[in-house]
Chains A and B, each alone.
Chain A
Amino acid sequence: MLGEGIAKGLVETARNFFGSYSNKDRLTTVQFPEERLPQMEATRDFPFLVYDGSDWQSGLRCVACQICEKECPPKCIYIEKSKDKKPDFVGKPQFYPAVFNIDVSVCMSCQICVEVCPFEAIKMDTEFELSTDDRFGGLLWDKARLARPNEHYRQIHPTDAAVSDAILAEEKAKAEAKAKAATEAKANPTPANVPQAGSGGTATQ
């Protein structure tokens, strides 16, 4: 019968319309911004620089190796290496970024800088309400704007932060063990060290 298909369709529409009053599955929208869905843990938008401790200047993990600058697909990172060195989290003197800029109007949130960073220094933030009326200065973020404490990272990505903390703790333990061994070796040179140095010498000849 003509019109049967249309009637069947209208029944379906009515079921969805009236269902939205009783069934939560049928009512899928939320009243943003008053009402907000919880953010997902994996969510990413723009990068930030992680620092340890309370002072961002001294605690910045970045050692200005410039790998992220090289690997960034749209080339939105600009780094200038420092002339002097400062101690990093294990106490080893390292360079630090004198300038670290990210142009977030160019950044495409691909997370490749995070993946290639060997120092757990750059991570993805989840802050998304970032609109500004200053499209040049307001979207070129310097290192003061980019620095965020490690606690912030633990809060937004707890699972990833736990992995990152474990890696750093392991490195620190290794470095400490090495330093301890080195100081002990310096304090009382064991006879075992002497032939090793000698054999090394002969091999190079």
Chain B
Amino acid sequence: MIEAAVQESTPGEETLLELSLGPHHPSTHGVFRMDIVLDGERVVKLKPVFGYLHRNHEKIGESSSYLASMPYTDRLDYMCSLTNNWAYALAVEKLAGVQVPERAEYIRVITAELTRLQNHASTIGFLLQEMGASGTPLMYAFREREIILDLFEALTGSRMMCNYMRFGGCRVDLPAGWLEQVGKVVREFPRFLDEFANLLSDNEILLARTQGIGVVSKELAIQGGITGPILRAAGVNYDIRKVDRYGIYERFDFRVPLGEHGDVYDRYMIRMLEMRESLKILEQALRDIPGGPIMDSKTKIRGFRPKAGEAYGRIESPKGELGFYLISDGTANPYRYRVRPPSLINLTILEDMCLGSNVADVIVIFGTIDIVLGEVDR
């Protein structure tokens, strides 16, 4: 699992240790490897190595029809398939100029915010698991996540590979009683957040392990193109739901939590606060959701051929800015299909975050980036 090799050392110089962490290490969230050079316990150099899960996603997208790429987007960030669906649908709708009915827009917001809840809950659970809080927080997080995944299954037929959104709407209408069940989740989720806050937020060990660790400055975050909770934890007010106001997000009243220090604790706290804001959005969406069609009547499922052109559609996925860039040449397949994955771009500042910290902290810092290898390698 961990190979260690002592580098050649000349007398009088301190010995450096090269450590290969991963790819089959449970704390690397999949198959990710880090080549770390250590001076004692301190990290001197860190090189991320990835590509073990490369599946040729973009090339497959270019050789298959627009619709056939939709189920493959589920497998990018397999924790949040519904937000991936939305980003891809948004790009294609921009390309083809398709209008989405109002009810479908509300369903998209509801499913996306539920996705954010379950993603953040499990991210925090995994983070604490890696910090040494073995089992308990992760189990509580998964208990809540399971309730949301059951809702996804009742709606889309699958817990994680939802394949639910279509160009111009959604695949099926909500089953009877589904909104009431979402309402129940919205009412009961704060109990879990309070429980988590009691369990962890004041825990002295957690504070000692997270505060002042893995600091990302505002400048570094902006220069690195970082998006999502890491950027906001560094104190930059940038949330695509507020900036782009894609879909119908301008109708909802919610705030964007911002951090101050940009350390691991801020990134943990940002996710806790974002979950509360998501609940606010869900409450408003459940109150306002109208009836009506869920699919644009003019858009066909088969033989979908957008006119020649290009489009970039982006959303605020739970991990950051998820974008799809498409070029159409008027045929049934896209000429170019490109994914802008938040996980990969957030990973680029890993070395800057880790330099000078201990090996044990590398795992914790890495956990707060919240990557999914399916999206990094594609």
- The interface of chain A, by Cβ under 8 A from chain B, is 2-6, 8-9, 11-13, 16, 28, 40-44, 67, 71-73, 108-112, 115-116, 124, 159
Scan B189-209; emit 1 where CB is below 8 A from any A CB, else 0: 000000100111111111100
- Contact with A40, one of B153, B202, B204 (Cβ below 8 angstroms): B153
Are B302 and A110 in contact, with the CB atoms below 8 A?
no
Residues of B within 8 A of A (CB): 64-65, 67-72, 136, 140, 143, 146, 150, 153-158, 161, 163, 171-172, 175, 195, 198-207, 301-302
Is B156 touching A73 in the complex (CB atoms < 8 A)?
no
**Lowest 10 A-B CB distances belong to which pairs?**
A5-B202, A110-B71, A73-B68, A44-B157, A42-B157, A5-B203, A9-B199, A12-B199, A12-B198, A110-B163
Between A and B, 30 residue pairs with Cβ closer than 8 Å are: A4-B202, A4-B204, A6-B203, A6-B204, A8-B203, A9-B199, A11-B198, A12-B199, A13-B199, A16-B140, A28-B146, A40-B150, A40-B154, A40-B157, A41-B175, A42-B154, A42-B155, A42-B156, A43-B158, A44-B158, A71-B65, A71-B68, A73-B64, A73-B69, A108-B71, A110-B70, A110-B71, A112-B71, A115-B171, A115-B301
Chain A residues positioned under 8 Å from B205 (CB to CB): 6
A58 nearest CB across to chain B (Å): 28
In whole angstroms, how far apart are the Cα atoms of A12 and B195 in the complex? 7
Q: Distance in Å from the Cβ of B337 to the closest Cβ of chain A?
A: 13
Residues of A within 8 A of B65 (CB): 71
The smallest beta-carbon distance between B242 and chain A, in angstroms, is 33
Nearest CB of B to A81, in Å? 19
In whole Å, how far is B46's beta carbon from the nearest beta carbon of chain A?
31
A5 to B205, CA, bound (A): 9
CB pair A73–B143 under 8 Å, yes or no, is no
Q: Which residues of B contact A2 (CB under 8 A)?
A: 204
| Chain B residue, CB-CB nearest to A73 | B68
Q: Is the CB of A73 within 8 A of B140?
A: no
Q: Which residues of B contact A71 (CB under 8 A)?
A: 65, 67-68, 302
Residues of B within 8 A of A72 (CB): 68
Cα of A28 to Cα of B205 in the assembled complex, Å: 29
- Assuming the contacts A9-B200, A111-B163, asked whether A124 and B71 have C-beta atoms less than 8 A apart, the reply is no
Contact A3 B204 (CB under 8 A): yes
Contact of A73 among B72, B136, B195, B203 (CB under 8 A): B72
C-alpha gap A72/B70 in the complex (Å): 11
Query: Are A8's CB and B202's CB within 8 A?
Result: yes
Closest-CB distance, A198 to chain B (whole angstroms): 37
Inter-chain contacts of A41 with B (CB < 8 A): 154, 175
Q: Which residues of A contact B198 (CB under 8 A)?
A: 8-9, 11-12
Q: Which residue from B71, B146, B153, B200 sits with its C-beta under 8 Å from A42?
A: B153
Contact of A124 among B150, B157, B171, B172 (CB under 8 A): B157
B171 CB contacts on chain A under 8 angstroms: 115
- Whether A43 contacts B64 by the Cβ 8 Å rule is no
CA distance A12 to B59 in the complex (A): 49
Do A73 and B301 touch (CB < 8 A)? no
Assuming A5-B207, A71-B302, A124-B157, is B195 touching A112 (CB within 8 A)? no
Per the bound structure, the CA–CA distance linking A40 and B156 in Å amounts to: 10
Query: How many angstroms from the CA of A28 to the CA of B140 in the assembled complex?
Result: 10
Distance A13 CA – B195 CA, assembled complex (angstroms): 9
Across the interface, which residues of B come within 8 angstroms of A112, CB to CB?
67-68, 70-71, 163
**CB distance B302 to A67 under 8 Å?**
yes
Q: Please, which residue of chain B has its CB at the minimum distance from the CB of A44?
A: B157
> A41 to B69, alpha carbons, bound, how many Å?
26
Given known contacts A67-B302, A73-B68, A43 and B157 CB-to-CB distance under 8 angstroms: yes
Q: A5-B203, A42-B172 are in contact. List 18 more A-B contacts (CB 8 A).
A: A5-B202, A13-B199, A28-B143, A28-B146, A42-B154, A43-B157, A71-B65, A72-B68, A73-B64, A73-B68, A73-B72, A110-B70, A110-B71, A111-B163, A112-B67, A115-B171, A116-B302, A159-B175
Chain B residues whose CB sits within 8 angstroms of the CB of A11 once the complex forms: 198
Q: Which residues of B contact A111 (CB under 8 A)?
A: 157, 163
Which residues of chain A are near B72, meaning CB under 8 Å?
73
Q: In the bound complex, what is the Cα–Cα distance between A43 and B172 (angstroms)? A: 13
Closest to B155 in A: A42
User: A130 vs B69: C-alpha distance in the bound complex, in angstroms?
Assistant: 27
> Smallest CB-CB separation from A75: which chain B residue?
B64
B71: A residues at CB distance < 8 A? 73, 108, 110, 112
Q: How far is the CB of A87 from chain B (nearest CB, A)?
A: 26
A9 to B67, CA, bound (A): 48
Cα of A42 to Cα of B227 in the assembled complex, Å? 35
Give Cα A4–Cα B205 distance, bound, in whole angstroms: 11
Closest to A4 in B: B202
A42 to B178, CA, bound (A): 12
Bound: A109/B156 CA distance, A: 12
**Bound complex: CA A124 to CA B68 (Å):** 17
The winner among A4, A9, A28, A71 for most chain B CB atoms within 10 A is: A9
* A19 nearest CB across to chain B (Å): 11
What CA separation (Å) do A6 and B156 show in the bound complex? Answer: 41
> Which partner residue on chain A sits nearest B142 by CB separation?
A28
Chain A residues lying within 8 Å of B202, measured Cβ to Cβ, are: 4-5, 8-9
